[in-house]
Structure 1
């Protein structure tokens, strides 16, 4: 979801630069409801540094409806690999989001609830859907935008590490999970390029947002990424290096937490 905002200072500057005769032709007020959408292809769908597609391509898309008051609802979807996610037969991930954002003195506050839904996961006794409240704060200083995020998933059956019987000693334990992250974007002036950096840490364990492999738990891990993007009209091309200190093996033994280069092409509407 990408939302562009203009600070009050920028609005006042634009107003002061407007010729006096423009007052005779007032512009229409902004719409009460706006709709934004994206479509993307990525070389690897990484969720908090962990590949959800066995390091294969994924198709993704989103739609967001925003009210002028700051309330919004959004849906985001991606293809996933069945033996990477907990259920073992899921092919899609759909994230349903409801939240509210407000900008005060150049600082944007955003909070809501995110629900992870795997529509084809029908394995008896396996739980993969879960919800996660989130709060983030962001600000822009010149060409640099910084954002801090905290996500908290309360104890839920879907966060149990092993729901397949492989590690039955902790098969039935419901768990909670906290994710803290910082993201930075720096636009290179007079060019279409931006530099990006990400640092996140998972506190606690879960199937989708944790490191787990070879029958052992790892109580938390760190993920990070460095990248560059180039934007041309509605298209954005991105390349980033992603890594973690996790040890995550999927159901067929592949290590999904290894470092890698991820490329993406996104169209925004």
Structure 2
């Protein structure tokens, strides 16, 4: 119910932010999802538990977009026992010819029900190239120095996906590396539980109309003996795991 209230408020805010004259050029979308574990960059954001999620998005003129995603974090100690994270994103993207696309965004991560103030802001850039059913891309995500994450954090990665011809299946995979400065080791362990580390993922999606069912394998090179002594490290949920998810888009 709390997630639904946040999304309704977000949708109203997005609608109010768009001038009436531009509404005819706006595309709206939404989705509801559930995953057996919310994994990001190889580590859990839902204490290893089932994570519901929902999102709304507005595609605006000239390649801009606004969106809000709310995900259940299930009291994860990584985020101070927060019940959910609401992520508000403003972005810009477009094709630059010959299958190449560039994207940029800024996201505010707002944690609901955390025991202390743990919100932070992150920006990102990405480039992708599509040829037929295949796509490859590179991405960078940077969170500047903030008290909530005990320093700054940079993640760089590469990804690929390909649709299997004449089937509803899409295969995808990626690798990444996280690094950054440390002002407060206790809070820096939120995003880097064992310091700088690499992550990877492999998965398959079955897509039929608005319904997507997927299975993912994620892993990291975080060693148990490298884990920082911090209540935010989420030490139980930094290793390899296979997860499942289902999503419906509107």
TM-score, normalisation: structure 2? 0.81
**Aligned counterpart, 2:236:** 255
Greater Cα radius of gyration, structure 1 or 2 = 1
What does 1:51-130 align with in structure 2 at a 5 Å threshold?
Answer: 51-87=44-80, 89-105=81-97, 106-121=99-114, 123=115, 126-130=116-120
C-alpha RMSD of matched pairs (Å): 1.9
Unmatched runs of 5 consecutive residues or more in structure 1: 1-30, 161-174, 213-217
**Aligned counterpart, 1:187:** 163
Unmatched runs of 5 consecutive residues or more in structure 2: 1-23, 183-187
**Aligned counterpart, 1:149:** 139
For 1:176, which of 140, 152, 168 is the aligned residue? 152
Checking the alignment, whether the CA contact within 8 Å between 1:127 and 1:157 is kept in structure 2 is: no
TM-score, normalisation: structure 1? 0.76
**Aligned counterpart, 2:176:** 200
Aligned residues: 216
Q: Secondary structure at the match of 2:191?
A: coil
CA distance, structure 2, for counterparts of residue 144 and residue 241 of structure 1: 20
Checking the alignment, whether the CA contact within 8 Å between 2:79 and 2:111 is kept in structure 1 is: no
Checking the alignment, whether the CA contact within 8 Å between 2:47 and 2:75 is kept in structure 1 is: no
Greater helix share, 1 or 2? 2
CA distance, structure 1, for counterparts of residue 171 and residue 55 of structure 2: 23
Greater strand share, 1 or 2? 2
